[in-house]
Amino acid sequence: QKEVEQNSGPLSVPEGAIASLNCTYSDRVSQSFFWYRQYSGKSPELIMSIYSNGDKEDGRFTAQLNKASQYVSLLIRDSQPSDSATYLCAVNIDGGATNKLIFGTGTLLAVQP
């Protein structure tokens, strides 16, 4: 069974620190990777997508992808209390044949003021 794994947390970081969120996936043919943020009681919000090995930066967020290690991560610089949420890693499961995604169980991030 194709899987996406994340540490459930909670990951607690002080305000202003770097939060590092990690995700591994089992399907070697996966080509597309996404990070979503979900606040309690709300639906997921897309914050980053990454398709190629290496780093992709968008504001305070940096996504990192290593397909050889089947590993994708999200770094949040200068963490703010408003970043406190569950972060979901999502992976396309069939090499792009469809747009279906598999989601990890999410990592709960708590940024302490």
Partner 1 sequence: GAVVSQHPSRVICKSGTSVKIECRSLDFQATTMFWYRQFPKKSLMLMATSNEGSKATYEQGVEKDKFLINHASLTLSTLTVTSAHPEDSSFYICSATPAYNEQFFGPGTRLTVL
Query: Given the rule CB under 8 A, which of 15-23, 57-65, 75-83, 102-110 is the region that contacts partner 1?
Result: 102-110
Please confirm whether the linkage preceding 10 is cis (ω < 30° from 0). Answer: yes
Separation between Cα atoms, residue 78 and residue 84, nearest integer Å: 12
Distance (Å, whole) CA 80 – CA 19: 10
Query: Is 45 one of the binding residues for partner 1 (CB under 8 A)?
Result: yes
The answer to the question of residue 100 lying near partner 1 (CB under 8 A) is: yes
Query: Under the criterion CB under 8 A, does residue 2 sit at the interface with partner 1?
Result: no
Contact present, 63 and 77 (Cβ < 8 Å): no
List of residues contacting partner 1 (CB under 8 A): 32, 34, 36, 42-46, 49, 88, 90, 92, 96, 98-106
